[in-house]
Chains A and B, each alone.
Chain A
């Protein structure tokens, strides 16, 4: 008991300055006035030099947005969002005329990424990872472009893809997440700024990890990321994204839409390490992270695997999902969500089984400390034609202290008698015996808790690409630092 108490005390003493990505960068910015209206949408579209169909699509989404109420299902306390009191577009002046090579990028931005540990200069780059960096509303740089294009792989910003690959964008954008899905999805569709576009051609195994790094820098600015990944027949790609933001007292909105499409025999592996600024100990500031991520396994034998480590944001609202349309397709969801102090998370997945012999696996680990609330919410739906579908779900929650909450809300719906659905969930505290054992071997309680929590999350963390796994382990410990780890 004593050890836990000590840990809890440490949580409480956790300073506000421990968010190590909390610096901001001084830059001149181009920003239209605050507010959300057709003019702003037209401004964004013009800035991006978009074709008319794209603008029409955005304006239609805006109409839909105006009609939709905000989604209510989450167990979250979301303050009323004043959409008019927010900037929807921000771009550092130096990026206005898109730099043609890395050498032309404002050194301040390069420095920012270096501070974050994301080197943009190719010669310095981690081997085997191609990076697309998004700074506020624009894509800064995409590395490894040449090597990828030799294989026919398209890896660029979505803004660029609208111009260079309009057919693919037209065909797939909004095909997994309909504009009218819910109001955040509609909002994103109206004002999305940047994000990644990936196309892997037939039969190609992407040889490197593709990665995007998102950074919100400007004050009062929403970030509306839009990512579209298409894996054509028999292809494979592994994609990872990381996110940080400076510390600011006011809340910032991040409403992303990510769509994945896997055709016959294709596989997409999507990993996220989300570490947006969580706000301070009293719950002031922090990012509202309202993310819609959805993948469609359209082709037979296709596979989509989501892995997420969610440690940041004041509010996380996120359900990376799989629509298993193709026969024999597979969906996976591996998640670690850590909430501390005043953070709130409502996250989980949806697995919709439509095709025959489809299978899904859900492993979710929620850790709640401080005064935080952490909810797993998930849907497994087996439609009546999904013969032989299989699902296995395991969700475990860990509580540290008795001012926080851990909740599990699974929806399990089955209409096919040849299918099998299994769900298990547990809630417990840190194992005192393990803690004692570690301390007896000389670990201080902080390290011991970090170790045990990492063990608790291991099943998920091992699904991250190598380079990320180490980083994520540290992050798990840090987010609970003084708090847990």
Chain B
């Protein structure tokens, strides 16, 4: 099956001139040289049939309200592309999904429930979430069994002084192409955790725009994937005193390719920005591959920005230590893998959801 996107299918009547240039010039399916898609391999031909498992969500539904059949109105989000500070590399995913699909808007403040559950593979539209209260909400986004050929976009508008926690489960998908865009207004917080496992071909784009005194945490976990697992992030600090923290962890084996490309952009007026970015990969065999491209683009002087990246295998000396205490190497490796990813699971604040995530991940770790 060839994983390429047939552009002709996108209705062309409503295409703005701007969108058209993006589709022509920035189309990663046509132009391999686009930097943001450097490692993406969108054309990869996947031959092997891979066993896909069912994820039990009954337990999750017990602790959350399913909003997959919500009522919503349609919004037009095509216009606010200009706010982004990237040059020449506008998101192809965003544009093509907005052309292909309508966008439904959900006001999260209208739903009086702490944990919300949404299966985006059940919904054909792009989705736009609004949050303007201080209510504690954990939004669980699940992508089950998606075979969608087209990118889908999910937008978060987080107003002044409000906050949101998002947990994204992207598990056992044949193909999933997602664009996440977060707009954080002054003094708002977004905590985003993305679990990716058992997938054959995924690409997630995380775009976030931060204003005054915001706080954006993004955690990603990739394990047990088969084909290409590709994460791209672009975080722009536009106003002073915001912080962003990004931690991606991958365990790569069985011929999988994991890619992380992320940029922190700091505008010249965004003094006192605190930006942190870390990508770590465990590379467990020589047929697999880990690529990292963590970028900083900084125009303000009074900032603290750093990034780090490591690729290695499990530490032999640690395994030896386990064995010297009678723990066999298989068990030792499993414990060390869990230890490697613990930080990501720990970042979930809600006890129920953390326990659930823990269980899922435990069952996926081989």
Contacts and interface: CB of A to CB of B under 8 A. Distances in A.
Contact between A and B in the complex (any CB pair below 8 Å): yes
Interface string B44-56: 0000000000000
Interface stretch (B72-80, B97-105, B228-236, B307-315): B307-315
Interface stretch (A221-229, A232-240, A402-410, A463-471): A402-410
Interface string B298-325: 1111111111111111000000000000
A422 B298 CA distance: 22
A404 B266 CA distance: 12
A414 B297 contact: no
Contacts of A422: 308-310
B103 to A, nearest CB: 33
A416 B283 contact: yes
Interface hub of A408, A410, A417, A421 (most chain B Cβ within 10 A):
A417
B293 A410 contact: yes
B309 A410 contact: yes
Nearest to A391: B311
B250 to A, nearest CB: 11
A409 B293 contact: yes
Question: What is the size category of the interface that chain B forms with chain A?
Answer: 35 or more
Contacts of A427: 296, 298, 303-306
B112 interface: no
A162 to B, nearest CB: 37
Contact of B298 (A4, A382, A397): A397
Interface residues of A, number: 37
A27 interface: no
A422 B290 CA distance: 13
**B interface, over-half SS:** strand
A425 B299 contact: no
B295 interface: yes
A400 B303 CA distance: 11
Contacts of B283: 414-417, 419
B210 to A, nearest CB: 17
Contact of A429 (B288, B301, B309, B313): B301
Contacts of A413: 289-292
B355 interface: no
A413 B259 CA distance: 9
B301 A400 contact: yes
Contact of A425 (B268, B271, B303, B306): B306
Contacts of B108: none
Contact of A403 (B268, B306, B311): B268
A53 B260 CA distance: 47
Interface in B193-225: none
Contacts of A402: 268-269, 271, 299-302
B285 interface: yes
Given A403-B268, A405-B299, A425 B311 contact: no
Nearest to B271: A402
Given A415-B286, A421-B310, A426 B297 contact: no
B241 to A, nearest CB: 15
Given A403-B268, A415-B288, A417-B284, A425 B310 contact: no
A180 interface: no
A308 to B, nearest CB: 21
Most chain A beta-carbon neighbours within 10 Å: one of B35, B281, B291, B297: B297
Contacts of A425: 294, 296, 306-308
Contacts of B284: 417
A406 B308 contact: no
B283 to A, nearest CB: 5
Contacts of B35: 73
Interface in A407-466: 407-429
Nearest to B303: A427
B285 A407 contact: no
Interface string B135-176: 000000000000000000000000000000000000000000
Nearest to A416: B286
Nearest to A386: B286
A408 B292 contact: no
A417 B288 contact: yes
Contact of A417 (B285, B291, B294, B300): B285
Given A402-B271, A417-B285, A412 B311 contact: yes
A427 B271 CA distance: 13
A325 to B, nearest CB: 18
A104 to B, nearest CB: 53
Contacts of B307: 408, 423-425
Most buried by A among B268, B281, B301: B301
Nearest to B292: A412
Contact of B306 (A410, A411, A412, A426): A426
Contact of A419 (B292, B298, B312): B312
A304 interface: no
A413 B291 CA distance: 4
Interface string B1-16: 0000000000000000
A399 interface: yes
A311 to B, nearest CB: 19
A61 to B, nearest CB: 24
Contact of A415 (B33, B289, B310, B312): B289
Nearest to B299: A405
Contacts of A407: 295-298
Contacts of A410: 292-295, 309
Given A409-B295, A413-B291, A424 B308 contact: yes
Contacts of A426: 304-306
A409 B268 CA distance: 19
Interface string B270-290: 010000000001011111111
A353 to B, nearest CB: 12
A402 B240 CA distance: 13
Contacts of A418: 286, 313
Nearest to B312: A420
A420 B301 contact: no
Pairs A-B, 5 closest by C-beta atoms: A399-B301, A412-B292, A420-B312, A414-B311, A408-B296
Given A408-B294, A425-B296, A425-B308, 11 more contacts: A72-B33, A408-B296, A408-B307, A410-B293, A412-B293, A412-B294, A422-B308, A423-B292, A423-B309, A423-B310, A428-B305
Interface of B: 33, 35, 38, 268-269, 271, 281, 283-313
Interface of A: 4, 72-73, 382, 384, 397, 399-429
22 contacts: A399-B300, A399-B303, A402-B299, A406-B298, A411-B292, A412-B293, A412-B311, A413-B291, A415-B289, A416-B286, A417-B284, A417-B285, A418-B313, A419-B312, A421-B310, A421-B311, A421-B312, A422-B308, A422-B310, A423-B309, A423-B310, A424-B307
